[in-house]
Amino acid sequence: MLLLVGLGNPEPRYAGHRHNVGFMALEAIARGHGFGPWRSRYSSLISEGSLDGEKVLLQKPQTYVNRSGYAVVQGMRFYKLALQDLVVIHDELDLAAGKVRIKTGGGVAGHNGLRSIAEQLGSRDFRRVRIGIGHPGHKELVTGHVLGNFSADDRQWLEPLLDALTTAAPLLASGDDVGCMNKIALLVRPPKPESKPESEPRRRAEPGPPPAADRSS
C-alpha cells in the first residue's frame, strides 16, 4: 500500500495558499481517480482508492504544516508501512513556479512540514514530490509568499499542472518517478505553433497575343 501525503494547513482561510499545494494535489487525484470520501482518522483527513492497481491512502494532516509528522506517523504505524511506502507532496521555494521534481531523501530546505516528518520518522529517506512555487526574491518576503494565495497568473499554470499530476499519478504509485516527471512535463508543455504552409510562388504573367493590326484607312 502507498501512503500519499499532501502538506498544508487545515482551516478554510488557508485553502488557496501556496503552502497548501500538497492538499490541492491530493484533492485533484481523489477527484480524477474516483477515490472514496474524506474521513477523519489519524489526526488527518483520509481518502482511500487505488492507482495502477495499487491500494493508495491519501492523507491530509490536520495538525498544521509544522506538526505534519505526528499525523503521518500515526497512519504509518497503523498500516505497518515502511519508508518506501511513503510519498510526500509539498510546495518548494527553490523550484521555479510550475516545475515538478520527484526525489528520495535529501534535506528539508527549511520546510517545517518535511522537518516534522523527518524528525518523527527518524529518517529523511522518503520520497517527495516537490511542486515549485518560485522564490519571491528576498528572504523577508518568503513568509508572505508561502502563506499567500496563488495569484490569477499562477492559476494559469497551477490548474494544468494539477491535472497533469493526476494523469501521471499511476506512474508515481508504480514507483516510476522518472516516467511520472516526464509525463507531467509532456502534458504541461505548451503546444508548438502550427507551421504555415509555404505560399506558392507567383506565376509569371504569360505574354498575350500581339495586338490586332489597325486596318482602318
CA gap 120, 68 in Å, rounded: 9
Other Cβ atoms within 10 Å of 115 Cβ, number: 18
Buried b (16+ CB within 10 A) or exposed e, 173-192: beebbeebbebbeeebeeee
Do 5 and 72 meet the contact criterion of CB atoms below 8 Å apart? yes
DSSP state of 41: E
CA gap 93, 132 in Å, rounded: 6
CA gap 137, 88 in Å, rounded: 26
Q: Which listed residue (19, 33, 111, 145) is catalytic?
A: 19
Is there a catalytic annotation at residue 135? no
Mind telling me the catalytic residues? Answer: 19
